[in-house]
Structure 1
């Protein structure tokens, strides 16, 4: 399959700087093989007039199946939201429920320009099945909770192992795995050591919630006499490539540890704000050279999986709280959701940029909209003017998943039907 995106404005990166230029992009199979030359006969030609091509957005922290819980348990404190509302509802879910919830989440992500996501979930083979069927790219992880060598904790690790082995034999390179101890407050030190051994056995990285709430800080300090970051560092968890989500409450020593250990921090500003958990010290992390990425968290706490919404929040909120208009620029925020995110996943030479030799993961926006006129700075427009509805076409791995706002790999009405059926059972 060959695709020519002809005469389109595109965001490219050179020497760490983003810029916009009119060009043409030629795709063969799963790769970008030429940029700038329109003299190709392609199977599919996309007219780039009044369009903008950007690297596909990468949502580096979410729980796609939790789209089922959208607009449920809102306006509650974090502990009450999690322990009194969300966890009891999760106990009612089946694997099939999780599959359809994930399909809904993937629909929303594709609709709003996301081409890759990092997910943590509770049912094996359901998220991976949805990813395999829809054509999106993902880094997947079965959430792990346990104490010592308890039976339930071992069961979860064995489930994760089983899923990894299955897809290693039967999957494709759009689907990769990472190991996910849920959080320091749901995994004790002995269990975390078991998880670390498991990750090392498979040469995989770590996906974990870290320092998300004040209660977590107090609980870990009471139990281990240190911060959650110091606790994980003492165990050697950061010796593995780590994605640490949230990182709201960090001391200067915590930040130094994250920097020294090359931990990738995934900030989720909307979720943190909505649950009253505060705002991560992103400027301090950047100053220390920490690789910062962007995630939505689940729709139960956001309540969308729209990375453009997240981009707007991350580029605005820090300007306000620091009273500095030049912190977290539009360009910096966009890198959080593209090249920085790819680096965190170890895919920096494959995705996150529109570049020859990279995977053809491209989002195309219709910029013939009032909010894009005049076109003084389209990179700024992505952060400050875009709402996600402008996304018209999404390409992943050289395959068109959505064309002119129509899904090509998902039966949208079928997904909605199943979501409504599940919702009636769960909430009545």
Structure 2
């Protein structure tokens, strides 16, 4: 399966550029995988072999999922009733299953997740998981843009620390020049909580040497601050800065318990907050301080996290939840505006992954990553009553996306996936799940699997 190549112009009834401009109708010009321009149509709609007219749709930049764990669709839903943002939930639910996970069980579930992403308007994502060497081929085949971080899980085990740090380094090195759109990062699981300072520094040095980034869970329960107060007499943000950990691109996933008073310290670093509002709500933890972060000049991105407790890969739903949760917790209507939320899910995500200043927009120089949603499936008030940004955040569904392009290559057209055989991947995923649960049952002397 392959995407349709050779598109030079994309025409649509509505073009939302992400720069403040809306063209009705409009056209996007693409050259060498990047946006050459976008503007209104004057006169007849162009036609030709290198023109794709999508008709009555809104075309917009693709969304960026800045915190994901694609292989974990193998265990979709097992975290229900648990907070996976605590060490207790992590050990009792995830590590219990992952103790029996082997690398051959990873590729099919990665493909299932990639298909979900494409169908829901995600064109770029940041992943963190082990066995990343088996994740990468499936992601490259999907055509999605990604930063794949090998998850470094230590749990106080010196042998595990050395083994996983070595594996992560080899993986990141192997990905240098391997793909134009997929890069290899390193993924310390959780600073101070799971990863020791010496391993953190080693990961930082490798990332700096290779020109890549770090992807880490951070500030999910306050455990980092408790550790740093006891061992360093300071807060975790100050300790990370003192150690130089934020001098390379760093995704700090969740940030639900971060002290808003310390957010200005992050603004001068290369760190980004990747918030996951649905998981915060499901796990019973505070909402990430998005308004305070934006006001402090911190880059904010948006993610879906793992499918074990957030079973939905719909970043439109995450945008809507972010806006509602921010208003609900602050008691300030529209505390984070629709335009700001869309920026978080597009330009904020690309910035978090080390992208260029125009990436996440349909402006010249930006990557040619775009999606289309039928206007008929976009609930919107009368023109003048509701902005297009508000309709996209509070009315759109990722399930409505009908077309997706990355680097000028179509991954989906007319609702048809062009780069992933989702049916075959799901069938293999079921076989992999049966294998995993059989292993768990044999080891634990109980019964697992289908109900």
TM-score tier, shorter chain, comes to over 0.9
Q: Hey, what does 1:33 align to over in structure 2?
A: 36
Shift of 1:373: 5.4
Contact 1:144–1:182 (CA under 8 A) maintained in structure 2: yes
**Secondary structure at the residue paired with 2:95?**
helix
1:66 aligns to 2:72 (yes or no): yes
> Which of residues 286, 292, 306 in structure 2 aligns to 1:298?
306
Shift of 1:331: 0.6
Shift of 1:220: 4.5
- Taking the aligned partners of 1:385 and 1:49, their CA distance within structure 2 comes to 20
Shift of 1:18: 5.5
1:246 aligns to 2:246 (yes or no): no
Within a 5 Å distance, the mapping from 1:404-423 to structure 2 comes to 404-423=414-433
1:383 aligns to 2:393 (yes or no): yes
Q: Decide whether aligned partners of structure 1 residues 373 and 284 sit closer, same or farther in structure 2, where only a CA change above 3 A counts.
A: closer
Question: What 5-or-longer segments of structure 1 have no aligned partner?
Answer: none
Q: Hey, what does 1:77 align to over in structure 2?
A: 83
Shift of 1:2: 2.4
Larger deviation: 352-361 or 327-336?
352-361
Shift of 1:81: 2.6
Let me know the Cα RMSD of the aligned residues: 2.2
Question: What 5-or-longer segments of structure 2 have no aligned partner?
Answer: 1-5, 438-448
Shift of 1:229: 2.0
Q: Residue by residue, what CA displacement relative to the aligned partner does 1:139-163 show, whole Å, maximum 9, x if unpaired?
A: 1110123489933222222222222
Q: Hey, what does 2:289 align to over in structure 1?
A: 281
Contact 1:125–1:163 (CA under 8 A) maintained in structure 2: yes
1:57 aligns to 2:63 (yes or no): yes
Q: Hey, what does 2:17 align to over in structure 1?
A: 12
Larger deviation: 140-149 or 248-257?
140-149
Shift of 1:242: 1.8
Q: Hey, what does 2:219 align to over in structure 1?
A: 211
Q: Structure 1 runs of 4+ off > 6 angstroms?
A: none
- Taking the aligned partners of 2:36 and 2:204, their CA distance within structure 1 comes to 39
- Taking the aligned partners of 2:375 and 2:226, their CA distance within structure 1 comes to 48
Q: Decide whether aligned partners of structure 1 residues 148 and 411 sit closer, same or farther in structure 2, where only a CA change above 3 A counts.
A: closer
**Secondary structure at the residue paired with 1:245?**
strand
TM-score (ref. length: structure 2): 0.88
Shift of 1:241: 2.4
TM-score (ref. length: structure 1): 0.93
Q: Hey, what does 2:3 align to over in structure 1?
A: none
- Taking the aligned partners of 2:228 and 2:330, their CA distance within structure 1 comes to 28
Aligned length: 425
Q: Hey, what does 1:318 align to over in structure 2?
A: 326
